[in-house]
Structure 1
């Protein structure tokens, strides 16, 4: 459905000369598409794209629940059990570096990755850690009372929508979950993706039913390549109503009557056309995976793998990574892909390490390897930075049930692409894989690396429309020195 929200943004005088009206795509959750960003305010769009915004994008693969740093990128097999990987190790393409045993294909990409083995922060509870990590540490206690998500900050700097395509700058890709524990993780990740003090205009593109796992449009896709995002897009938008031009024009006319004397919405017919083009055209095509070559779909397809603990569903991680690539090509600047289920306690709600990694580890191995190969094939490796992380790591010790518990002193963090220096290991864990032995890396430094990849700080400092406060927020984030070009 198409909803018109005529509430003001910013100040308005008695004649309405500074009023800005919004066109919102409601059921789809395309965030808030400002008419000025899409059409009228072209001058601002040109400045924001031409000067300090680099032609790059970030895809953040977020492993919620707390992916083990040991069974992923630091198997530590020279140490005695329980301080080494329960799934063993595999040799990688980077001399002297091994990955966890469920990453055999990804290990072949190690020479094009940067592995951080000293990622650390102080928060060991899921909900707070999600907020802390996804905010780049700007909310120090993870209470969602300070700061803002990294993606929202990027959208604030970049603009809420791509100036040419209108595609949202910031997106969160999730999937309706069947397992109750996984549904909890959806809500936590959504909370961590919040815009905070930047305001709701910078919230991510997200479907509400993907957050809650509820709603009428959560039915399973019939086949890979015809996923729920594209299907729900059509269901939620109600094409019949959109194509009823009489009803639509009546809504637009309502906006015209509210417009100020200076003609802020004088070209409402153009707004209507561009909005419809985005909704029914380019955005819909982005989510239509059937347009991909069968070979590409097959490479990404993880649907043969079942994920869950009490209730299972087919994995869509490959599907989501492919969507992330298509979204970046359509103009998105920051896409978070949510992978649930990494909380491997071996308790009533979660599997143990071996079972969990045999489920999620192999899935990630296939999906991420396909993504990296796809980027390389399409000449996008230097344009797109992939970041892999989660809320925290796992205990270096193994509990009596065969699981590992929450551990914030070390966590999982890896990078690939983006034109950054790859083929290196950054930092070192101690002998027991419990704490950084040197060079501790924080969420703030992860955020700084992302911001330095996406934006030219020197040009930003002298750009019009960028406030000193915003510049300070950016400069407070310090990049990982080894990844600064």
Structure 2
């Protein structure tokens, strides 16, 4: 991973080690890579994946697969909105995404395989009980060769707002690595680590931690390097190592470096409402789950875009447990729940799409958004929908996948696929096919054979 030593160690020989392997420092690795450049084809495509987990289980009826010509107890709550693509409708709280439908691929035949809360599908049987990003980094490496950026990152609300909540780990950690070991854990910026408390950067080869401490220490270190003239006389690979860390990594994690207009475009804090949801446990002051989601979702997607531009290959985003719309004492029902959760989702994702289109990133970044399950066809007595494993909404943008298409079809009551279903293994295959040149991956020497076979044999979802 990426290592920095305390200030007293700042010298030519022992400044930092990034991507340490077999005792080689980053500059040594870069030199070796420069010699090897052009001798073998890369196994990666250069594309990135952002996985936005709608934790709690989004309703297919009020999002991507609305139903109107059905009995009252099933019909989509709140109505629908016509999209930019004739014949395709979305739920009424997604008007901005509806205008972007020509850039979306909607899957209406996806089954997550469970009706229980979990970390699926980002972590589950299909991913060998590891974060999907850990499968990627086990094969691609832990850091980008050019920028030093960690290739596998997981973002929580406190990654962009220090006072916001961290991970909801009641159903499992989002940093699980399954059989691959802790060195392939996602990097998680933010949180209350010791590094954040003492504002000191001393990172082990196994892990990076804490965005705030990272930025503080990098700025302090850069100032020290510039004033001492340490950079003078070092070879070009050591200079590149300094530049990777002091410019690339620090700037990517720092949202203050972003254009203010872009930051404002992503901002979802206008959807925070401190009183409207206070009658539910998840909206009360002790939890503020709906508020945390609305406060941070847009900035999380912006940070994810910045990381991908800097070389990160896989970013997981999860806010709080807000898509669980039972209408009970803890959770909002469908009508109010979609106002609280659907509207900031609509704003954040559409801003991300507009930004990527403007930057020419539509082929380079794949955004996937789904949850661990869907919701019941029948609305319960409280105006909510309960757990349902028969069908889960799945939204895809970018990665060169043609927009304006719907894959699959559900039954009239929205309970299961009417056409051939796809599952989490197919989803894994889709992501891995985006990230890897499968042909090169299969013949690459030195990689774990079983994992290569598992990843390369997963059949992707069949988009047009």
TM-score normalized by structure 2?
Answer: 0.79
Structure 2 distance, partners of 1:479, 1:283, is 32
Q: Distance in 1 between matches of 2:224 and 2:432?
A: 43
Q: Which residue of 2 aligns with 1:206?
A: 188
SS in 2 for 1:335: strand
Q: 1:148 aligns with which of 108, 127, 130?
A: 130
Matches within 5 A, 1:354-373: 354-373=335-354
Please, what is the CA RMSD of the aligned residues?
3.5
Aligned to 1:54: 45
What residue is the counterpart of 1:134 in the other structure? Answer: 122
**Count of aligned residue pairs for this structure pair:** 415
SS of the residue corresponding to residue 363 of structure 2 reads coil
**Corresponding position of 2:86:** 95
Q: Deviations over 1:382-433 (max 9, x none)?
A: 1111101111111111121111111111112111110123321111111111
Task: State the alpha-carbon separation in 2 of the partners of residues 374 and 164 from structure 1.
Answer: 24
* Deviation string, structure 1 residues 300-320 (Cα, Å, up to 9, x no partner): 111111165123345111111
How far apart in 1 are the matches of 2:60 and 2:186?
28
Change (3 A) 1:242 1:299: closer
Match of 1:390 in 2: 371
Q: 1:112 aligned to 103, 110, 119, which one?
A: 103
Instruction: Determine which of 131, 141, 151 is the counterpart of 1:169.
Output: 151
Partner of 2:446: 465
Task: Give the secondary structure class of the aligned counterpart of 2:62.
Answer: helix
- Tell me the SS of whatever aligns to 1:428: coil
SS of the aligned residue for 1:414 comes to strand
**Counterparts of 1:192 and 1:400, CA distance in 2:** 33
Local SS of the residue matching 2:270: coil
Shift of 1:282: 2.0
- For 1:421, which of 373, 394, 402 is the aligned residue? 402
Shift of 1:476: 3.4
Secondary structure of the equivalent of 2:126? coil
Decide whether aligned partners of structure 1 residues 190 and 166 sit closer, same or farther in structure 2, where only a CA change above 3 A counts: farther
Distance 1:46 1:353, change over 3 A: farther
Match of 2:318 among 335, 338, 345: 338
Kindly tell me: are residues 385 and 37 of structure 1, through their superposed partners in 2, closer, same or farther at Cα, counting changes over 3 Å?
farther
Q: Does 2:300 match 1:326?
A: no
Instruction: Please say if 1:289 is aligned against 2:255.
Output: yes
CA gap of 1:118–1:234, structure 2 versus 1, over 3 A, is: same
Indicate conservation of the 8 Å contact 2:17/2:25, yes or no: no
- Aligned partner (choices 426, 447, 457) of residue 428 of structure 2: 447
Structure 1: where are the runs of 5+ without partners? 6-21, 25-31, 140-145, 218-228, 246-267
Q: Deviations over 1:298-354 (max 9, x none)?
A: 211111111651233451111111111110010001111213211111222221111
TM-score between the two structures when normalised by the length of structure 1: 0.76
5+ long unaligned stretches in structure 2: 7-15, 199-209, 226-233, 274-281
Of residues 416, 419, 434, the one that matches 1:435 is: 416
Partners of 1:183 and 1:398 in 2: CA distance: 31
Residue 184 (structure 1) shift: 8.9
Rounded Cα–Cα distance in structure 1 between residues aligned with 2:438 and 2:328: 47
Counterparts of 1:48 and 1:394, CA distance in 2: 51
Change in 2 beyond 3 A, CA 1:397/1:40: farther
* 2:390 matched residue in structure 1: 409
Secondary structure of the structure 2 residue equivalent to 1:207: coil
Higher strand share: 1
Moved more, 273-282 or 391-400: 273-282
SS at match of 1:186: coil
Give how far 1:136 is off: 6.0
Distance 1:473 1:104, change over 3 A: same
Q: Is the 8 A contact 2:41 2:440 kept in 1?
A: no
- Aligned mates of 2:98, 2:149 — CA distance in 1: 34
Structure 1 segment 209-228 matched on structure 2, within 5 A: 209=191
Deviations 1:59-94 (A, max 9, x none): 111111111111110111122222222121100112
Q: Distance in 1 between matches of 2:41 and 2:58?
A: 38
Tell me by how many angstroms 1:167 deviates: 0.2
